[in-house]
C-alpha cells in the first residue's frame, strides 16, 4: 500500500527478487503511470525495473481486493508531521482500515507488515486493532510485523537491493519468518526484534544521522570564523572508525521528507513521555538557522538584497532526486523573497515540484540561463553538473558565488562554513 518513494521502490525490487507484486495506490494517475512502465518519481534504476516487471509480475491498482490472495502486505503510506510536529498517522490508519475490510475474505495465513516510519507502539496499538476490527479475523489467521525502511532517495534501488541490514520486528516468530523469506536473495544481516524496537530503530537511526549533520554544521560555523576549512577537519575526524566519514558534510543543513519530520516526531514522543530531548531540539534549531546563514553571508557580500537578481542553483533537497520536501532551498528562497530579491532558479530535475510550492519566481532551463546578469548565486544542491560550472559564472553581473554544498571547483566561490 502506497506507491511513493518507499512503496514503489519496494514493489519494483520485490518484483526483481521474483515475487508477484500488487501495488495499491489511491492516486489513479500514479497507478496509470506505473502500469505503463513510467515511474512517477525519479529514482536511479527504477525506470529499468518498471520496464522489466510492470504488466508481468508487478501491477498497480487502486483496489484493495488484491490483498485477499497475498501472503504479505506492506503498509508504505506517508507519515507526515502533524500540526504540532508529531507523526500524523491518519494515512496508516486509513490504509489499515481498507486492508482489514479486504482481508475479511482471505483464507490462508497473511502477514501485515508496517514499513512506514511510525512511532513505537503504532503497529501494536493502532494497526493491529484496526485490522482485526475491520477484518473480523481472529489473531491466529493474521500475523503482524514491522520492517522499517532505510533507503536513501536518489540511491533507493541500490539501498533496497544492498541494504546494510534488514530489521524485522514481530511478536510471533512465524510472522517475522515470512517477512525474512520475502527478502531471500539479498545479502544482509537480519536483525530480529520486537515490534516497538523495530519502530524505534528507524527513528534512532535518522535522529543520529541528523545529529551528525547538525554537529558538523556547528563545528563548520566555528571553523569559518577562524578561517579553517571544516572539510579538512572532518576528513581527519571521519577516519576514526568509531565515527565514520559519512554524514559529516557541513553545509546548508538537512532537508527531505524524513530527517526533519522524524526528529520532530521523536522530540514530541519524548516530551509526551515527560522527557526534555535537549540534544534533538538543538539538532533542529541548528538546522533551521543554517540555510539562513547563506542569506546573511550574501548580504554581507552585496548589501541590501532589494531588487537584486539572485540565481539559486539546486532546488531538490539533495542530488539525484526530484524531491523538494523540506528542501533547504525552500527556506532560502522564502528569505530572499522576503528581502526583496528577484530569484532565478534552476534544478536538473526538481523544477516542476518546486513550482508547486513556490510558483512566483523565475525558473530557468539551465544553470547558465539562471546565472546570466545575476548579482549573486547561491548553490543549494550538490548536483555533479554544478561541479563543472566555471565560465558560466562569468555571465553574472558580479561573480559572487556562495555554496551551501561543497561541489564547486571554481576558486572564488565562498562556502557557507568553509
Ligand X SMILES: NC(=O)c1ccc[n+]([C@@H]2O[C@H](COP(=O)([O-])OP(=O)(O)OC[C@H]3O[C@@H](n4cnc5c(N)ncnc54)[C@H](O)[C@@H]3O)[C@@H](O)[C@H]2O)c1
So which residues are the catalytic ones?
A: 258
Select from 413, 348, 343 the least CA-distant residue to 375. Answer: 343
Select 77 or 378, whichever has its Cβ closest to ligand X: 77
Q: Please tell me the distance from the alpha carbon of residue 190 to that of residue 89, in angstroms, as a whole number.
A: 27
- For residue 73, what are the contacts with CB-CB under 8 A and spacing of at least 6? 1, 67, 99, 110, 111, 112, 113
Angle, CA of 319, 322 and 325, to the nearest 5°: 95
Select from 45, 36, 46 the least CA-distant residue to 4. Answer: 46
Q: Which three cell numbers stand for residue 135?
A: 477484518
Helix (H) or strand (E) holding 363: strand 362-363
With CB atoms as reference, the residue minimizing the distance to ligand X is: 4
Q: Are 305 and 334 in contact (CB under 8 A)?
A: no
How would you classify residue 213: left for phi > 0, otherwise alpha for psi between -120 and 50, otherwise beta?
A: alpha
Select 257 or 371, whichever has its Cβ closest to ligand X: 257
Give the torsion through C-alpha atoms of 31, 33, 34, 38, to 10 deg: -170
- What are φ and ψ of residue 278, in 5° steps? -60, -45
Q: Whole-number minimum distance, CB 90 to ligand X, in Å?
A: 9
Find the distance separating the first CA and the last CA of the chain, reported in whole Å: 44
Query: What is the binding site for ligand X (CB under 6 A)?
Result: 1-7, 24-27, 30, 76-79, 91, 94-95, 98, 116-117, 149, 151, 153, 257-258
Q: Please tell me the distance from the alpha carbon of residue 361 to that of residue 370, in angstroms, as a whole number.
A: 11
Q: Whole-number minimum distance, CB 154 to ligand X, in Å?
A: 9
Q: Whole-number minimum distance, CB 24 to ligand X, in Å?
A: 5
Select 325 or 405, whichever has its Cβ closest to ligand X: 325
Q: Please tell me the distance from the alpha carbon of residue 379 to that of residue 364, in angstroms, as a whole number.
A: 14
Q: Whole-number minimum distance, CB 25 to ligand X, in Å?
A: 5
Helix (H) or strand (E) holding 261: helix 259-272
| Distance from chain centroid for Cα 316 | 11
For residue 130, give the 3-state DSSP assignment.
helix
Q: Are 380 and 332 in contact (CB under 8 A)?
A: yes
Q: Whole-number minimum distance, CB 350 to ligand X, in Å?
A: 14
Q: Whole-number minimum distance, CB 338 to ligand X, in Å?
A: 28
Q: Whole-number minimum distance, CB 46 to ligand X, in Å?
A: 12
Q: Please tell me the distance from the alpha carbon of residue 67 to that of residue 65, in angstroms, as a whole number.
A: 5
Select 9 or 341, whichever has its Cβ closest to ligand X: 9
Q: Whole-number minimum distance, CB 336 to ligand X, in Å?
A: 27
Residue entry with cell 576514526: 240
| Residue positions counted in the chain | 418
Amino acid at each position: 500500500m502506497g506507491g511513493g518513494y518507499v512503496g514503489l521502490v519496494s514493489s519494483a525490487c520485490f518484483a526483481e527478487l521474483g515475487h508477484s507484486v500488487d501495488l495499491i495506490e489511491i492516486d489513479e494517475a500514479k497507478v496509470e503511470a506505473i502500469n505503463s512502465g513510467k515511474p512517477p518519481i525519479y529514482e536511479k534504476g527504477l525506470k529499468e525495473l518498471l520496464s522489466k516487471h510492470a504488466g508481468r509480475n508487478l501491477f498497480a491498482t487502486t483496489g484493495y481486493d488484491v490483498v485477499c490472495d497475498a501472503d504479505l502486505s506492506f503498509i508504505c503510506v506517508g507519515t507526515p508531521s502533524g500540526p504540532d510536529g508529531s507523526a500524523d498517522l491518519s494515512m496508516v490508519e486509513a490504509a489499515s482500515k481498507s486492508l482489514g475490510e479486504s482481508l475479511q475474505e482471505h483464507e490462508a495465513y497473511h502477514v501485515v507488515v508496517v514499513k512506514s516510519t511510525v512511532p513505537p507502539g503504532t503497529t501494536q496499538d493502532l494497526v493491529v486493532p484496526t485490522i482485526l476490527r475491520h477484518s473480523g479475523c481472529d489473531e491466529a489467521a493474521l500475523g503482524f510485523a514491522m520492517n522499517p525502511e532505510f533507503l536513501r532517495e536518489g540511491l533507493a534501488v541500490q539501498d533496497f537491493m544492498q541494504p546494510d541490514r534488514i530489521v524485522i520486528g514481530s511478536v510471533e516468530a512465524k510472522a517475522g519468518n515470512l517477512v525474512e523469506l520475502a527478502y531471500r536473495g539479498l545479502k544482509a544481516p537480519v536483525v530480529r526484534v520486537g515490534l516497538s524496537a523495530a519502530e524505534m530503530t528507524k527513528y534512532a537511526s535518522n535522529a543520529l544521522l541528523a545529529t551528525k549533520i547538525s554537529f558538523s554544521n556547528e563545528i563548520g560555523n566555528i571553523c569559518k570564523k577562524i578561517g579553517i576549512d571544516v572539510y579538512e577537519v572532518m576528513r581527519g575526524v571521519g577516519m576514526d572508525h568509531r565515527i565514520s566519514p559519512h554524514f559529516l558534510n557541513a553545509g546548508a543543513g538537512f532537508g527531505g521528507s524524513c530527517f526533519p519530520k522524524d526528529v520532530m516526531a521523536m522530540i514530541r514522543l519524548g516530551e509526551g513521555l515527560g522527557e526534555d530531548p535537549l540534544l534533538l531540539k538543538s539538532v533542529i534549531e541548528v538546522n533551521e538557522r543554517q540555510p539562513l546563514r547563506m542569506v546573511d553571508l550574501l548580504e554581507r557580500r552585496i548589501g541590501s538584497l532589494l531588487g537584486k537578481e539572485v540565481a539559486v542553483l539546486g532546488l531538490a533537497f539533495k542530488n539525484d532526486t526530484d524531491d523538494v520536501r523540506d528542501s533547504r532551498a525552500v527556506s532560502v528562497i522564502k528569505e530572499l523573497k522576503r528581502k526583496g530579491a528577484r530569484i532565478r532558479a534552476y534544478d536538473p530535475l526538481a523544477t516542476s515540484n518546486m513550482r508547486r510550492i513556490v510558483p512566483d519566481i523565475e525558473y530557468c532551463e539551465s544553470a547558465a540561463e539562471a546565472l546570466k546578469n545575476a548579482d549573486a548565486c547561491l548553490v543549494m544542491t550538490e548536483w555533479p553538473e554544478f561541479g563543472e560550472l566555471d565560465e558560466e559564472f562569468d555571465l553574472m553581473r558580479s561573480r559572487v558565488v556562495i555554496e551551501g554544498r561543497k561541489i564547486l571547483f571554481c576558486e572564488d566561490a565562498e562556502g557557507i562554513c568553509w
